[in-house]
Structure 1
Amino acid sequence: MIKSKSDYNDYINKDKVALGVKSSSLESKLINFISPNPIWTFQKSLRKLEYYTNCKNTGINKIYCYYLRYKFKKISIKLGFSIPINVFGPGLSIVHYGTIVVNSASSIGANCRMHAGVNIGASGGKKEAPQLGDNIYIAPGAKIYGNIKIANNCAIGANAVVHKSFEEEGIMIAGNPAKKIKAIDIRKIIKHIQ
C-alpha cells in the first residue's frame, strides 16, 4: 500500500518497468503524447488516487481526491476495469483492456501480470476474498474466488476456476476446478522480474 511520496514513486517506476513503458527519449515522449497507452494512463491514475487517498486526503486535497476519483472512474468504465484502489502491489502489468473485476477485499502482491476476462472475488456473500502472493501470472478468463491463498511465483492458466488455496510456490495452476499442473520458473513468464 502506498503510504508516502517515495512509495508512490516506487510503485510508478515498477509499474512502468512491468508494462515496458519507455518514457526517457524524445521520440517515446512524442509518441505517448500523440497516442497515449490507455492501460498506462489507467495505472498512473490508480496509483495517484491511492497516494492522495492514503496520504493527502485532508483540506483542499480532499476536493482534488474527489476529482481523481471521477477521472479514475471514467477511465475504468472506458477500459472495462472494475479494479479498486489499494489491492495491487508494485509492478502491476495489465496486458490488455477488457473486462477485469477485482474485489476490494482482495490482496495481490508485487509483480502481478494479468490478462482480460479475469475475475477475482468473494464467494457466497462472504466478505473474505483471495489473497495472492508476489509474482503471480493470471491468464485470460481466470476466475479466482473465495477465502483462499495463492503462494508466490505461481501462474494461473487460461479459464482456470480457482476456489481453493495453493500454498506451494512456483507452480502452474489450471483447469476447472483448478489443480496443480507442474512446477514452473515464473521468470520465464513474467520477464521483468529478476
Structure 2
Amino acid sequence: MISSKAEYKAYVLADKKALNIGNGRFTWIKQMIAPDYIWKFQKRLRKLEYYKNCRKDIIGKIYYNLLKLRHRKLALKLGFSIPENVFGPGLSIAHHGTIVVNSKAKVGKNCRIHVCTNIGASGGSHKAPQIGDNVYIAPGVKIFGDIEIGNNIAIAANSSVGKSFMEENILIAGSPAKKIKEVEIKKLIPHAD
C-alpha cells in the first residue's frame, strides 16, 4: 500500500519495468501516437492510491475524486474492475479484457495477471484471497474464498482455486486446483526477484 510520494514513484517504476515499457528518449512520443492503455490504467491506479492514502487535504480529496472518474472511465473501456490498494508493486496486466478483483483481496509484488480472471469472496463471506509475491495468474483463473496463495506460484489457465496453497515454486491447475509440478517462476515472470 502506497504511503508516501517516494513509495508512489517506486510502485510506478516497478510497474513500468513489469510491463517492459522503455525508457528511451522518444517513449513519450510513441505513447502519444499509439498509447498503451494498460500502462495508462496502471499509472492512474497508482496515482489514485497515492491520493487516497497520502493526500488528506481538501485539494487532495477533490483531485482524488476527479481522478477516480477518469480512472473509472478507462477501466470500463478496458474491462477492468480493479480497486485501489490491492496489488503490490510490479503489477503486469497482460491484456485488456475482463478482470474482476474484490477490494478485500491482497496481492503481493510482481503479479502477472491475464484476462477473464476473477479474484473474489465466496458464499456470502466478506473475506477474499490473500496472494503472495511473484504469482503468475493465467487466463480464465478463478480464485475465491478465505484462502492464501504463497509466493512464487503459477496458476494454469481456467483453473478454479478454492483452497490455500503455500508451497513455493509450484504450478497449480485444474478445477478444483491441485499441485501439478514444480516450476521456475522466473521463466513466467522475468522481472520477479
Normalised to the residue count of structure 1, the TM-score between the two structures is 0.98
| Residue segments in structure 1 that go unaligned for 5+ positions in a row | none
1:17 aligns with 2:20: no
Q: Quick one: distance in 1 between partners of 2:59 and 2:41?
A: 24
- Please give the root-mean-square deviation of Cα atoms over the aligned residues, in Å: 0.8
Residue 47 of structure 2 aligns to a residue in which SS?
A: helix
Output aligned runs, 1:32-43, within 5 Å. 32-43=31-42
Task: Name 1:65's counterpart in structure 2.
Answer: 64
Q: Is residue 110 of structure 2 the alignment partner of residue 96 of structure 1?
A: no
Q: Which residue of 2 aligns with 1:52?
A: 51
* 1:80-131, Cα deviation, whole Å (9 max, x unpaired): 0000000000000000000000000000000000000000000011010000
Q: Which amino acid in structure 1 is aligned with residue 3 of structure 2?
A: K
Partner Cα distance (2:33, 2:187) in 1: 33
- Name 1:3's counterpart in structure 2: 3
Q: How many residues align?
A: 193
SS in 1 for 2:164: coil
Task: Report the residue type matching 2:135 in the other structure.
Answer: I
Q: CA deviation at 1:12?
A: 0.2
Q: Partner amino acid for 1:128? A: K
Runs of 4+ in 1 over 4 A off after TM superposition: none
8 Å contact kept, 1:57–1:65: no
State the distance in 2 between where 1:61 and 1:126 align: 33
Matches within 5 A, 1:55-134: 55-134=54-133
Alpha-carbon separation, structure 2, partners of 1:41 and 1:155 = 26
Partner Cα distance (2:60, 2:138) in 1:
38
Identity %: 57
Cα distance per residue 1:157-189 (max 9 Å; x no partner): 000000000011111010011000011110011
Q: Residue 162 of structure 1 contacts residue 178 of structure 1 at CA under 8 Å; is this kept in 2?
A: yes
What letter is aligned with 2:157? A
Query: Map of 1:108-187 to 2, 5 A cutoff?
Result: 108-187=107-186
Query: What's the CA shift for 1:29?
Result: 2.1
1:61 Cα deviation after fit = 1.5
